[in-house]
């Protein structure tokens, strides 16, 4: 229903979201920000 698993698509479930794709994209952005030293900033640190 939420699209958490890309390869599992039963016929009796309607997809309302693509959370697997959204999650992968979020991790990709997070990793890039960390590598580029854009995260964490001083405001996001203790």
Specify the number of domains making up the chain: 1
pTM across the whole model: 0.77
Give the distance between the most distant pair of CA atoms in the chain: 48
Residue by residue, pLDDT tens for the chain (46 residues) are: 999 999 998 999 999 999 999 999 999 999 999 999 999 999 999 9
Please report the pLDDT score of residue 22 as a whole number.
Answer: 96
Residue 21's H or E segment, with its range, is helix 19-35
The whole domain housing 10 covers 1-46
Q: How is residue 39 written in tokens?
A: 């995260």
């Amino acid at each position: 229903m939420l699209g958490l698993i890309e390869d599992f698509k039963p016929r009796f479930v309607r997809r309302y979201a693509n959370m697997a794709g959204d999650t992968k994209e979020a991790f990709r952005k997070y990793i890039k920000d960390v590598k580029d030293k854009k995260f964490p900033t001083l405001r996001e640190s203790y």
